[in-house]
A and B are shown apart, each in its own frame.
Chain A
Amino acid sequence: MTRSKLTAQRLAALFLAGWMAFNYPLLSLFNLPARVLGVPLLYVYVFAAWGLLIALTAWLVERRKD
């Protein structure tokens, strides 16, 4: 129980981090007319942050089993 409570809290922290990452003002920092490998910076940022968020969530959730 303690373990799963801890995981729940870690996930909640991840939620907060994600909320920060996907909102003003952090979002506006990447709202520039630049391109990374040809792809607009804003798109790269959002998709990369999104992917990272999912990867971290997966890591937290699946880690408990070992």
Chain B
Amino acid sequence: MLLQLPVIIGAAFVYLAVLFAIAYYGDKRADAGRSIISHPLVYSLSLGVYCTTWTFYGSVGRAAASGIGFLPVYLGPTLVAALWGTIMLKMLRVSKTYRITSIADLIGSRYGKSQLLAGLVSLIAVIGVVPYIALQLKAIANSFSILTAYPETLARAEPASGMIFTDSGFLITLMLAAFTIVFGTRHLDATERHEGMVAAVAFESVVKLVAFSAVGVFVTWGIYDGFDDIFRRASEVPALFALMTSRDTAATYGSWTALTLLSMSAVMFLPRQFQITVVENVDENHLRRAIWMFPAYLLAINIFVLPIAFGGLIEFGKQGTDTDMFVLTLPMSRDQQWLALLAFVGGLSAGTGMIIVETIALSTMVCNDLVMPLLLRLRMQALERRSDLTWLLLGIRRFSIVSILLLGYLYFRLAGEAYALVSIGLISFSAVAQFAPAIIGGLYWKGATRRGAVAGLMAGFIVWTYTLLLPSFARSGWLPQEFLTQGVFGIELLRPQQLFGLAGLDAITHALFWSMACNIGALIGFSLLGREDAREATQAELFVDVFKHGSGVAGPSFWRGSAQVGDLITLVGRFLGVERARRAFERYAARRGNIGVDQLRADADLVHFTETQLAGAIGSASARVMVASVVKEEALGLDEVMNILDEASQVRAYSQQLEQKSRELEQATTELRAANERLTDLDRLKDDFMSSVTHELRTPLTSIRAFSEILVDNPEMEEDQRQEFLSIITKETVRLTRLVNQVLDMAKLESGRTDWRDERTDLREVIEQAVAATSQLFKDRGAAIELVLPDELPGVMIDGDRFVQVLVNLLGNAVKFVNPGSGHVKVSLTRDDADIVVEVADNGPGILAEDQPKIFEKFRQGGDSLTGKPQGTGLGLPISRQIVEHYGGRLWVESAPEREPGARFIFRLPSSLIALEEEAA
């Protein structure tokens, strides 16, 4: 026979030894920097610590009593996990940034690093979670006593015997306490991370899933013939058939919703869930993937709950059996000893996983937020003398672990016998739910104050105690039964489970409603009525806007005072160990770019660093007190903090503005540079212009003056010569006048002060006038002129005289460059599309391509300026171009002397100039 006492105990010990080996290996690997838990799957599995013996044994019991009613506790986490990318990520970021190591620390730290609040949360957590630990002890003790009774299949575990030291439950408690101590408090870590423990917990999740599924498969296909067989047979029993639907009442659905909500808060705020999800998290990305992996685990472990429950009910009937233990009793009734042993180990893994993580998390809280603050307050003097306090911290934690487990055992003996597993667990869930308003409010509402949080937690906790904890004592006979039926002092309105006459709800829904109403009401009410102090405002800002402030980035500095570096190092050394403190500061110094610790300055940043280091070990509230004891701190007033916050946000705003401005400035600079270049160009052009003008004026003036002097000096000059000289003087004067006129013209055109007398003009007449004006030139040169004009042409709205000027210029140029005697100039007027095109073509030498742009510059003359005599003013073409462009037209030259002689000057006027009535006609 396999299932004998030594075998069972041996199996339990072997299992625990394996667990310890995994944890040891995990720690070893973590020390070596090669983490075995850095994988989303491991992380998700370790989150499976949510499934305790409540799930392993209790779900079946719950299903046997209420069918599908066991499920909301797993649907809630599935739903809320979808929000983890928002809520949980924020909790994670806050905790990582500020080295928060427990739920008490989180709440205390958020509300101004309040020791009072952290202590209160720790107290609620311990009292609230004790029933949950009792549940594990009860389940393990029951499974043990049922298994040892083999071959007899007990319907119920035997109640514990009177003597405490022979009670298996007590022995199990002690054993687990020792195991947890070895597990969780071997050394002290600033971050409170336990990689080995996480690895072991993940392993436990696998064991319990495998064990439970094995039993499920055996029941479904071993005892029965598949799912349909079980449900078909069950539906033949009226009592079981009723379980297949839930009762369609408001209370049923109300309780369903309440359980969903409860489990949502539990899966985030239970101390052990916080420990695994937040404190033990190594990578934010793991959280992202756990969003579906963890719910998948929950689904997997629940698949066989209903088959096992119905199978058990068919097998044993409903009366007189402990439905919680079907997982164990079904294999036993069919003589499956190995399977029963596996189920026992599975239950053990579910229980130990919860107990280890929960007590470690609770012991951290008790130590950091309850005991240390008291010790620091009461025995400051004695502690001052100690140089190394790490032993004290570890001692307190170990003592806490034993105490918490003994409290759990006490509750199990006092009240646990009267309840099913799930009912005990729900009492704890309701206690933990009290943290939800303070945390969610604290993370998203800056206005939530410490007074509000304290009031909310107190109110919620008191209501919870009155409506759930005390009734559980009354049920087990520890308090008089009248307390339940008649209320305190016989006042019926105060009956704890029908408070103020609220009846018709089950105990949990009832308690949840009243406690949450009081909790949330007090949180909001007191927050709005009171005013926060400086530290609260600081923490509120840092928490709510954690993503804005970023991690590690220098946020606003809220500390002012003076400190000695040596004092700070010594302080950290006392709590973390001298060696570790030294290393931590060296790393810090290296990060700051300094060479050594001795060069560090005790500035706000270093003090902050010290405080965070300590916070990891003793909680943020205590850390603040300790740091305050070695530094001289100037208290910042609320106004000052507000100013700093304001400054910080202003600085952010300013820097954004600055960036914008500098971009604009850059652009303006570029524009300015371009404008400046243009100005320089223009300036140079002006200089060129001036020198050209003076040069051009000087030439005729010189010759006028020279000839006049000759005439004055030689009065008896011959008449012929005198006539010749006088005609030269006249010609030069004409040239001078023309030049001055053209310069004035040019200046007027360029400055836009020209008077334009636009009227309907026939371009053909303009051309004829110009030809007439230049006919003498053509005759002198012996050149022919040819006109090609259309028969019909619409009138255009232009200043005709100006265009005569343009054409005279063009014709004058043309005739100047053609060979004397054989010159031929052709003027043609055509319409291209609607535009009007005038072309003056000559058969002269043409203009080289590279010279073509130059001839439109002022004072540039065609031909070789070195040898050839200047033949014009050099302003004709620029002026003509100005005129044409004024009308939106274009003037250009086409010439390719290497291919054919001649140049063609063309201007084109847009059709928009055509007089309107002409176009209409």
Contact = CB atoms under 8 A, between A and B. Distances in A.
A6 to B, nearest CB: 11
B376 interface: no
Contacts of B82: 11-12, 14-15, 18, 57
Interface stretch (B252-260, B595-603, B694-702): B252-260
Interface in B53-95: 67-68, 71-72, 75, 78-83, 85-86
B79 A58 contact: no
Interface string A28-44: 10011101011110110
A19 B79 contact: yes
B295 interface: yes
B544 to A, nearest CB: 17
A8 B295 CA distance: 17
B78 A54 contact: yes
Contacts, number: 102
B335 interface: no
A14 B84 CA distance: 12
Nearest to A28: B248
Contacts of A28: 248, 253
B246 interface: yes
A35 B310 CA distance: 15
A49 to B, nearest CB: 9
A32 B83 contact: no
Interface string A9-27: 0011011001100111001
A33 B244 contact: yes
A22 B256 CA distance: 9
Interface stretch (B228-236, B471-479, B746-754, B768-776): B228-236
B299 A18 contact: no
Contact of B246 (A31, A35, A37, A51): A31
Interface stretch (B285-293, B571-579, B848-856): B285-293
Contacts of A8: 85-86
A33 B71 CA distance: 19
Contacts of A58: 292-293, 296
A33 B260 CA distance: 24
Contacts of B75: 18, 22, 46, 50
B83 A35 contact: no
Contacts of A51: 299
A46 B71 contact: yes
A39 B227 contact: yes
B690 interface: no
Given A23-B253, A35-B231, A38-B232, A15 B246 contact: no
Nearest to B74: A50
A38 B246 contact: no
A23 B248 contact: no
A32 B245 contact: yes
A56 to B, nearest CB: 9
Interface in B376-390: none
Contacts of A37: 227-228
A40 B231 CA distance: 7
Interface in B218-256: 226-229, 231-232, 235, 241, 244-246, 248, 253, 256
B306 interface: yes
Contacts of A27: 253, 256
A45 to B, nearest CB: 10
Contacts of B81: 57
B75 to A, nearest CB: 5
Contacts of B296: 54, 58
Contacts of A32: 245
Q: Size range of the interface on B?
A: 35 or more
By DSSP majority rule, is chain A's interface helix, strand, loop, or mixed? Answer: helix
Contacts of A33: 241, 244-245
Contact of A39 (B85, B231, B241): B231
Nearest to B83: A15
A11 B85 contact: yes
Contacts of B72: 22
B717 interface: no
B289 to A, nearest CB: 6
B83 to A, nearest CB: 6
A11 to B, nearest CB: 4
B244 A12 contact: no
A61 B226 CA distance: 34
Contacts of B79: 15, 18-19, 22, 53
A33 B846 CA distance: 107
Interface in B110-129: none
B292 A23 contact: no
B295 A38 contact: no
B80 A15 contact: yes
B295 A39 contact: no
A42 B244 contact: yes
Given A14-B82, A31-B246, A43-B244, A50 B253 contact: no
B724 to A, nearest CB: 91
B227 A38 contact: yes
Contacts of B834: none
A24 to B, nearest CB: 4
B256 A38 contact: no
Contacts of B306: 43
B303 interface: yes
A57 B244 contact: no
Nearest to A12: B83
Contacts of A57: 81-82, 291-292, 295
Interface in B274-321: 288-289, 291-293, 295-296, 299, 303, 306
Contacts of B303: 47
Contacts of B293: 58
Given A12-B82, A28-B248, A35 B235 contact: yes
B868 to A, nearest CB: 72
Nearest to A18: B79
Contact of A38 (B80, B85, B228): B228
Nearest to B71: A46
29 contacts: A11-B82, A12-B82, A18-B75, A18-B78, A22-B260, A23-B256, A23-B257, A31-B245, A32-B245, A33-B244, A38-B226, A38-B232, A39-B228, A40-B235, A42-B68, A42-B246, A43-B244, A43-B306, A46-B68, A46-B71, A47-B299, A50-B75, A50-B295, A50-B299, A54-B295, A54-B296, A58-B293, A58-B296, A62-B292
Given A23-B253, A37-B227, 15 more contacts: A14-B82, A15-B80, A19-B79, A27-B253, A28-B248, A37-B228, A40-B244, A42-B68, A46-B75, A53-B295, A57-B82, A57-B291, A58-B292, A61-B288, A61-B291
Smallest CB-CB A-B distances: 10 pairs: A38-B228, A58-B292, A40-B244, A24-B253, A15-B82, A57-B292, A11-B82, A18-B79, A8-B85, A54-B295
